[in-house]
Amino acid sequence: MGENPRKGDALEGPTLEGSNVARMNANVSEDIQAEQQHSTEQDLRQHRLDKLARIRARGEEPYKYLFTRSHTIGAARAAFEAAEASATAEEHPGVAAALAGRMTAFRRQGKSSFADLRDESGRIQIFFNQKQLGEDAYEALKDLDLGDFLGIHGNVRRTRTGEITIFADRYEILTKTLRALPEKWHGLKDVETRYRQRYLDLAANPEVMDVFRKRIQVVSVMREFLTGHGYLEVETPMLHPIPGGATARPFVTHHNTYDRDLYLRIAPELYLKRLIVGGFDKVFEINRSFRNEGVDTRHNPEFTMMELYEAYQDYLGLMDETEEMLCTIIERVTGGTIFEHHGRTIDIQRPWRRLPLFEAIRTYAGIDLEATRDREEAAKRARDAGVDVDATMGYGKIVDEVMSAKVQPHLVQPTFLYDYPIEISPLAKRKRDNPQLTERFQPFIGGYELGNAFSELNDPLDQRDRFLQQVKLREAGDDEAQYLDEDYITALEVGMPPAAGLGIGIDRLAMLVTNTTSIREVIFFPQLR
RNA sequence: GAACGGGUAGCUCAGUCGGUAGAGCAUCGGACUUUUAAUCCGGUGGUCAUGGGUUCGAUCCCCAUCCCGUUCACCA
């Protein structure tokens, strides 16, 4: 943790104020009067501890075990509106309700008070009145603090100003809170606190909750889509003896009993294809992969990927399915076929543009990398196009680099690039009429690379050659090159039917539909230092 | 890993051309029986990220460190 005490650490000291000793102290309210009026963070907390003790001193449990709600807040509002709609002008309908939530505002008005109550479904105003509650209960409102969880029994009606409000007959404290929520008007802005203490972010910033709801919906619509199309959801290992399925550096961990190193998976690909070998026709998995690489607005060390494999399918058929699936998800989550991202309007109307990779490079980079397979010539052309090329890059890497730098930023409207060079696609099948290319595509939206797909290489001999190519790269110092996985080749020798596979980056898709530009905004607890 | 920007009250932010800091909200006390960023009156609250240095004096200048952000590198 280093020398720097993080925000919030200041209050970690031992506190016995909540102990039985303090609970028994019935004179705490006098102590409060006598106490100096401070408001450091410690003192703010002490005030709440004193209130807690007072609540206990009068025999009330400040951490209740159960509260039976009649409605969520949203449901109570809906129920009231329904009653109102069917009532005549003279009637003043009310809906009896028991609601629970966090108190997020309190406006004392002498012998009446207003508060705001929030639960997951929304916000409602509470009206407290001395006459209705009785003097003692009304007085005890002083022991409430912003952030406390309350249960309210009362009637939902409109106030004179027209606001739907629960008129409290009685209330109970469900959870006494010891720390304040961030400020009500500006919310919590400090990004470090927002990410490290996401609970504060969620509690203080309703729009953050909306972002995560959309992310959750992306996953559930995707799951629904795939299940509805006959895919079976499976789970394969996250601890891999040999990292495989992607070009990336893995995290290493260690198993004690076996006394061997294992790797957190960089992709589920090779295991999922083993299932196709075993006889499953359509499988998918939605889960985390881990890559031990840089962190930026598009990369978190652990990220969520969906991978699917379909037997007897090729990449062109899968391109159609991908388009359909992504349209379904985006339309359901954003509510239409047109949405905004990063100040740009994106239209997902089908059919999407489909562009061979090399044609895209000719169009956007103004160079032809297809006509030459020569590494030096390709490097020269890339430099002519203004792309940095270093000595370690092979031909495939140069193509990839030019694509990322010159093509990808233009792919704002949904686009499939397809037919990638064989050098950077060691698990993809060769294009049927051009052995230098593979049957591979990637969907791009909003300039984001959303996924990767191909006709799966199922020729075990070719696969071994491709792995050996990777091993050569590894021996030459490329620590992202793939490992040779003997068992995987054995599986292919047992025989994998023709198949196509797809991987989709869930986090990036979530960024798109939530109009956010940092991956950390769509991951509850992003990795920080 | 590099460059640039940032770290001031519980939260959101001002500010100090070097003389140990302010506001709003929150909080505490008071007034108020229909408010909703309630209002009004009166208070409390700060190792100005951390450690050194320069200086009569540092929150401010210098150096180092930590953390965050952006861009780049690497990658999905």
Q: What is the pLDDT of residues A152-190, one digit of tens each?
A: 999 999 999 999 999 999 999 999 999 999 988 888 999
CA of A53 to C1' of B35 (A): 30
Helix (H) or strand (E) holding A365: helix A357-365
Angle subtended at Cα A218 by Cα A214 and Cα A224, rounded to the nearest 5 degrees: 135
Neighbours of A329 (CB within 10 A): 25
CA of A413 to C1' of B70 (A): 25
pLDDT of the residue at A41 = 81
Least confident span in A40-49, A86-95, A121-130, A427-436: A86-95
CA of A10 to C1' of B48 (A): 17
- Judged against a pLDDT cut of 60, whether residue A98 lies above it is answered with yes
Taking residues A311-319, what's their average pLDDT? 98
CA of A528 to C1' of B47 (A): 27
Residue A70: Cβ-neighbour burial (10 angstroms; 0-12, 13-18, 19+): middle
Q: Which amino acid residue lies closest to nucleotide B72, measuring CA to C1'?
A: A296
pLDDT band at A21 (very low <50, low <70, confident <90, very high): very low
The nucleotide lying nearest A2 (C-alpha to C1') is B66
- Judged against a pLDDT cut of 80, whether residue A8 lies above it is answered with no
pLDDT of the residue at A89 = 66
Contact A165, A112 (CB under 8 A): no
Report the C-alpha gap between A369 and A376 in whole angstroms. 11
CA of A339 to C1' of B55 (A): 59
Least confident span in A25-39, A194-208, A439-453, A503-517: A25-39
Residue A346, token pair as written in the block: 């994106």
The nucleotide lying nearest A297 (C-alpha to C1') is B70
pLDDT of the residue at A107 = 95
pLDDT band at A392 (very low <50, low <70, confident <90, very high): confident
Q: Which amino acid residue lies closest to nucleotide B1, measuring CA to C1'?
A: A294
pLDDT of the residue at A14 = 32
A425 against A86, higher pLDDT: A425
Phi first, then psi: give them for residue A505, nearest 5 degrees: -80, 110
Mean pLDDT of chain A: 90
The nucleotide lying nearest A400 (C-alpha to C1') is B75
The nucleotide lying nearest A192 (C-alpha to C1') is B68
Sign of the torsion formed by the C-alpha atoms of A29, A30, A32 and A33: positive
Chain B positions with any atom < 7 A from a protein CB: 1, 7, 9-13, 24-29, 31-39, 42-46, 49-50, 65-76
pLDDT band at A24 (very low <50, low <70, confident <90, very high): very low
Residue A506, token pair as written in the block: 């869930």
Sign of the torsion formed by the C-alpha atoms of A246, A247, A252 and A255: positive
Q: Which amino acid residue lies closest to nucleotide B31, measuring CA to C1'?
A: A110
CA of A181 to C1' of B26 (A): 9
CA of A230 to C1' of B75 (A): 33
The nucleotide lying nearest A190 (C-alpha to C1') is B68
Taking residues A12-19, what's their average pLDDT? 32
CA of A40 to C1' of B43 (A): 14
- Judged against a pLDDT cut of 70, whether residue A22 lies above it is answered with no
Closest CA to A280 of A270, A272, A289, A288: A272
The nucleotide lying nearest A160 (C-alpha to C1') is B34
CA of A451 to C1' of B14 (A): 46
Q: Which amino acid residue lies closest to nucleotide B37, measuring CA to C1'?
A: A185
- Judged against a pLDDT cut of 50, whether residue A16 lies above it is answered with no
Report the C-alpha gap between A378 and A300 in whole angstroms. 32
Q: Let me know how long chain A is.
A: 529
The nucleotide lying nearest A162 (C-alpha to C1') is B34
pLDDT of the residue at A69 = 97
Q: Which amino acid residue lies closest to nucleotide B38, measuring CA to C1'?
A: A107
Condensed to tens digits (0 to 9), the pLDDT of residues A252-299 reads 999 999 999 999 999 999 999 999 999 999 999 999 999 998 899 999
pLDDT of the residue at A473 = 85
pLDDT band at A348 (very low <50, low <70, confident <90, very high): very high
Residue A32, token pair as written in the block: 């409060």
Least confident span in A45-49, A254-258, A467-471, A474-478: A474-478
The nucleotide lying nearest A116 (C-alpha to C1') is B36
- Judged against a pLDDT cut of 60, whether residue A25 lies above it is answered with no
Report the C-alpha gap between A503 and A266 in whole angstroms. 12
pLDDT of the residue at A37 = 55
Taking residues A305-309, what's their average pLDDT? 97
The nucleotide lying nearest A388 (C-alpha to C1') is B73
DSSP string, A277-339: HHT-SEEEEEEEEE--S--BTTB-SEEEEEEEEEET--HHHHHHHHHHHHHHHHHHHHSSSEE
Condensed to tens digits (0 to 9), the pLDDT of residues A234-244 reads 999 999 999 99
pLDDT band at A102 (very low <50, low <70, confident <90, very high): very high
The nucleotide lying nearest A267 (C-alpha to C1') is B76
A25 against A367, higher pLDDT: A367
Taking residues A451-477, what's their average pLDDT? 93
Q: Helix A206-228 to helix A506-514 angle, to the nearest 10 degrees?
A: 130
CA of A4 to C1' of B58 (A): 21
Question: Which percentage of chain A shows pLDDT scores above 70?
Answer: 92
Q: Tokens 């959750």 map to which residue?
A: A216
Report the C-alpha gap between A252 and A265 in whole angstroms. 9
Taking residues A504-516, what's their average pLDDT? 96
CA of A201 to C1' of B13 (A): 19
CA of A294 to C1' of B73 (A): 9
Report the C-alpha gap between A321 and A276 in whole angstroms. 18
Cα Rg of chain A (Å, integer): 30
CA of A252 to C1' of B65 (A): 29
Phi first, then psi: give them for residue A522, nearest 5 degrees: -115, 10
pLDDT of the residue at A35 = 42
pLDDT band at A38 (very low <50, low <70, confident <90, very high): low
Cβ-count burial A114-124 (b if 16+ within 10 Å, e if not)? bbbbbbeebbb
Report the C-alpha gap between A168 and A140 in whole angstroms. 14
Q: Tokens 């620590």 map to which residue?
A: A479
Q: Which amino acid residue lies closest to nucleotide B73, measuring CA to C1'?
A: A294
Contact A56, A62 (CB under 8 A): yes
Q: Which amino acid residue lies closest to nucleotide B71, measuring CA to C1'?
A: A296
